Amino acid sequence: MSFSDKLSRWDLKVSPYLYISPFFILFVIVGLFPIAYTAVISFQEWDLVRNTGEFVGFQQYIWILGQEQFWVALRNTFSIFILSSVPQIILALFIAAMLDRNIRAKTFWRMSVLLPFVMAPVAVALIFSNLFGDNHGLVNTVLTNWGLPAIPWHKNPFWSHIAIATMVNFRWTGYNALILLAAMQAVPREYYEAATVDGAGPFRQFWSITLPSLRPTLIFVIITSTIGGLQIFDEPRMYDQEGNGGADQQWLTITLYLYRIGWGEFNFGRAAALAWILFLIIMVIGLINLAITRRLVRDEGGRGVVRTSRRKKGAVQ
Amino acid sequence: MNSRAFRRSAVAVAAFSATAIVLAGCAGGSGNSPSADPDEPITLTLATFNDFGYDDELLQEYMDENPNIKIVHNKAAVSQDARTNFFAKLGKEGLADIEAVEVDWFTEAMQYSDLLAEVPDSAKGRWLDWKEAAATDEDGRLVGFGTDIGPQAICYRADLFEAAGLPTDPEEVAALFDGDWDNYFDVADQYKEATGKPMIDSAHSVFQGMINQIEFPYDEPDGTVVATTSQETEDAYNAVVERAIPNSAYGPQWSDDWNASMANGEFASMLCPAWMLGIIEGNAPEVTGWSVANAFPNGGGNWGGSYLTVPANGKNVEAALALADWLTSAGTQEKTFVNAGQYPSVIEAQSSPAIVDSTNAYFNDAPTGTIFGERSEAVTVNTYKSVDFFKYNQALQDAITRVFDGLEDQQTAWDTYVAQVEAF
């Protein structure tokens, strides 16, 4: 075998791997390595400045799980996540459905929907802090002017979660709406025409055509907002000056707690253990999501539009 | 890269860094070595937070005297940001040539005093004894240049005091407040009776004032934790809850609401360390009624103050030490007092006419230099702030906030605090 033959065979075998390697090399360096290194630190009593540690086994994990604050943080994280994700996706669907119609200045409306997403979360948090101030906040000023009682934004856990969820929703609703809009536009227009001929109203069309077609996209949106929701940090951090999640941990989230242990107390062993616990929580939720997703997709039973469209494509081929 | 090329470049890198280390060693060892050319252009970075009073004009003065030096000043918004940055980079790369460190986390920094450059002998002895002692490590190395201290006085709104039927003249007010904390709270009760409003800005500021009069509020130098057993600490907590909370407009300080409140007369008095004057003026530039009374409950108290440190592995340690030396000299401290109300920790500056004779126009021409000088002399206790001070203090402040917000009662909030301390 000549050298060039050898080279071309090598080329055939190795090149594809070489082409896709940059991502994986990058992933190993900036993704996998930090995760593994965090695991190493989580078993140690770590000194950040001198980069040295002392092995203590599972002690850091046990400490975290024994903290009442951890469980409060877990509760807050899920509460804020549900208060933000559910209304957000419903609102995003509604906005997307509106934008999907034949309206004037389409691009203008679509761009404006995305505008809040471009704003830095810290800027959003600063603006909303002014709205949700206990004494001089805009919302409470309006309420008390109407003779209504002021809302305890920074005292009651529920109201603080509402305030933080509002900031999250402000930022992310438009982003999700655009993703859903893209999926809606992929739905063949003939379906709607046929439905109109059959006498179905806009609501019935949305329910029976749009929603079933959106299922895979909806699942994507739900999973990404789950991961984002469980890692929520900026908004609760900026909700007050100290960034400790409130005197009674009213709005302490897992990542905020992690930051407090890591950068407040400089206890990186514990912070790393908490990071790993969060990682595992997200994994578990992700698996549950996946299980539900699979069931939903299988459960179509031929009634949904997605299935029909696939069959059609097959027929064309 | 094949292995030979790799090896060759590795050798080159090693050789280069070895040379660099040797050169750096020479530069550090003797000032006369050729690599330490005094006229060589150098850029020095200076990292501070809040307002140290180092304005462009002041830094330009130094640059004019030393034409080869260019100063780049980076200001963090609050000291917590500076703290995070400091410990993330200490001993590694990326710190400024001069880093400001606040008293509240200075003990943490002292754990790594070997990573900080030593203050030159010529500068030693210029600061207050306790200020210098706190920056000296076990090996006797002084590693911090003291900037300011925070002797506390009482700021008050003369116009609101008048409306409440209280005296308004600074000297009469000082006489009114002269006494212990109970006396202070009695005046607050009186004010509330007359106006129906709280006299004090926040329960936390009162608590800070009390804690800064206790020598060992949370733990002792040998590591004994007294956070839950110290009678003084518990008494301070009880006094704040029972008497300060009913008379306070806010629980914690520094919120947007609290900032706004200085202008709209929600309260009439505030315990103020020297550096607080600038904050009041900044938040309420239109108000004309603010004054300073030369008094403080239970004598004196010191809240805050900072140091400048020079990381030992910086590129221009010698030049940075010289600049830090100049920035904390008596002459410069006189200027930073005028610029930002930073009351000097340098003894000579404290007695200089520039400070003794200074008045503050915003605070109705109060002789602030004299007032804070006397408040500084009244400080008798130097609170021990260990590595964990911040953690304990935060937990107890949270307990006060919970009572203030009506979430827990006095005893429950204390019990929660005890449980938190035991978990640390």
Tokens describing residue A244: 């400790």
pLDDT for res B190: 94
CA B189 to chain centre: 31
3-state secondary structure of A10: helix
Shortest Cα distance from B212 to chain A (angstroms)?
20
CA torsion sign, A118 to A122 to A127 to A128?
positive
Q: At what angle do helices B389-404 and B410-423 cross, to 10 degrees?
A: 160
- Least confident residue range of A126-135, A164-173, B220-229: A126-135
Neighbours of A10 (CB within 10 A): 10
Query: What are A174-196's pLDDT values in tens digits?
Result: 999 999 999 999 999 899 999 99
The DSSP secondary-structure symbol of B217 reads S
pLDDT for res B20: 44
Q: Averaged over A106-119, what is the pLDDT?
A: 88
pLDDT for res A301: 44
**Three-class secondary structure assignment of B181-213:** HHHHHHHHHHHHHHHCCCCEEEHHHHHHHHHCC
Residue in B147, B112, B130 with CA at minimum distance from that of residue B337: B147
Residue from B81, B104, B257 to probe the interface with A (highest A Cβ count within 10 Å)? B257
In one-letter notation, the amino acid at residue A79 is S
How far apart CA B174 and CA B168 sit, in angstroms, is: 10
- A278 near A78, Cβ under 8 Å? no
Q: Which residues contact B37 (CB under 8 A, 6 or more apart)?
A: none
What is the average pLDDT score of chain A? 86
How far apart CA B416 and CA B409 sit, in angstroms, is: 11
Shortest Cα distance from B266 to chain A (angstroms)?
11
Residue in B244, B286, B280, B246 with CA at minimum distance from that of residue B262: B280
Query: What are B170-189's pLDDT values in tens digits?
Result: 999 999 999 999 999 999 99
How far apart CA B74 and CA B47 sit, in angstroms, is: 5
Tokens describing residue A48: 């950040």
Residue in A230, A225, A229, A235 with CA at minimum distance from that of residue A275: A230
pLDDT tier at B38 (50, 70, 90 boundaries)? low
3-state secondary structure of A253: coil
Residue in B59, B81, B134, B72 with CA at minimum distance from that of residue B103: B134
Residue in B174, B341, B359, B162 with CA at minimum distance from that of residue B268: B162
Instruction: Please give the radius of gyration of chain A, using alpha carbons only, rounded to the nearest integer.
Output: 25
Whether A300 shows a pLDDT value over 50: the answer reads: no
Q: How much of chain A exceeds pLDDT 90, in percent? A: 43
First to last CA, chain B: 51
In this complex, which of A67, A135, A263 lies closest to B257 when CB atoms are compared?
Answer: A135
Neighbours of B130 (CB within 10 A): 15
The count of C-alpha atoms lying within 13 angstroms of the C-alpha of A195, restricted to the half-sphere facing its C-beta, is: 17
Shortest Cα distance from A72 to chain B (angstroms)?
14
How far apart CA B77 and CA B71 sit, in angstroms, is: 19
Exposed/middle/buried for B336, CB within 10 Å: 0-12, 13-18, 19+? buried
How far apart CA B270 and CA B191 sit, in angstroms, is: 13
Query: What are A210-241's pLDDT values in tens digits?
Result: 888 888 888 888 888 888 888 899 899 888 87
How far apart CA B349 and CA B329 sit, in angstroms, is: 8
How far apart CA B115 and CA B62 sit, in angstroms, is: 26
pLDDT for res A1: 65
| CA B364 vs CA A63, B14, B353, B368: distances in Å | 55, 65, 20, 10
Task: Calculate the CA dihedral of residues B122, B149, B138, B424 and round it to 10 degrees.
Answer: -160
Residue of B nearest to A64 (CA): B423
pLDDT for res A316: 41
Shortest Cα distance from B20 to chain A (angstroms)?
22
How far apart CA B389 and CA A265 sit, in angstroms, is: 10
Which residue shows structure tokens 């506390």?
B152
User: Strand B200-202 and strand B343-344: pairing?
Assistant: unpaired
Q: How much of chain B exceeds pLDDT 90, in percent? A: 58
How far apart CA A165 and CA A163 sit, in angstroms, is: 6
How far apart CA A248 and CA B405 sit, in angstroms, is: 10
Q: Which of residues 55-84 of A touch B (CB under 8 A)?
A: 66-68
Are B257 and A134 an interchain contact pair (Cβ–Cβ within 8 Å)? Answer: yes
In one-letter notation, the amino acid at residue A23 is F
Tokens describing residue B250: 């806010």
The DSSP secondary-structure symbol of B141 reads -
Tokens describing residue B163: 């409306």
3-state secondary structure of B64: helix
Residue from B405, B412, B414, B422 to probe the interface with A (highest A Cβ count within 10 Å)? B405
Residue of A nearest to B387 (CA): A265
ipTM here: 0.75
- B138 near B124, Cβ under 8 Å? no
Q: Is any Cβ of chain B less than 8 angstroms from the Cβ of A247?
A: yes
Whether B104 shows a pLDDT value over 70: the answer reads: yes
CA torsion sign, A261 to A264 to A265 to A266?
positive
Residue in A174, A190, A8, A192 with CA at minimum distance from that of residue A95: A174
CA B230 to chain centre: 25
Residue in B111, B96, B117 with CA at minimum distance from that of residue B27: B117
Q: Averaged over A274-293, what is the pLDDT?
A: 87
- B84 near A263, Cβ under 8 Å? yes
How far apart CA B59 and CA B46 sit, in angstroms, is: 10
- A192 near A210, Cβ under 8 Å? no
- Least confident residue range of B33-37, B254-258, B359-363: B33-37
Whether A266 shows a pLDDT value over 90: the answer reads: no
Whether B216 shows a pLDDT value over 70: the answer reads: yes
pLDDT for res A297: 57
Whether A244 shows a pLDDT value over 90: the answer reads: no
Residue in B47, B97, B99, B98 with CA at minimum distance from that of residue B76: B47
Q: Is any Cβ of chain B less than 8 angstroms from the Cβ of A302?
A: no
- A63 near A145, Cβ under 8 Å? no
Exposed/middle/buried for B97, CB within 10 Å: 0-12, 13-18, 19+? buried
The count of C-alpha atoms lying within 13 angstroms of the C-alpha of B190, restricted to the half-sphere facing its C-beta, is: 16
In this complex, which of A137, A247, A266 lies closest to B405 when CB atoms are compared?
Answer: A247
Stated as kind and residue range, the H or E segment containing B146 is: strand B145-157
What is the average pLDDT score of chain B? 87
Whether A265 shows a pLDDT value over 90: the answer reads: no
pLDDT tier at A296 (50, 70, 90 boundaries)? low
pLDDT for res B36: 52
pLDDT for res A105: 87
Are A248 and B91 an interchain contact pair (Cβ–Cβ within 8 Å)? Answer: no
pLDDT for res B162: 93
Cβ-based contacts of B108 with chain A (< 8 Å): 266
Residue in B143, B146, B138 with CA at minimum distance from that of residue B117: B143
pLDDT for res B10: 46
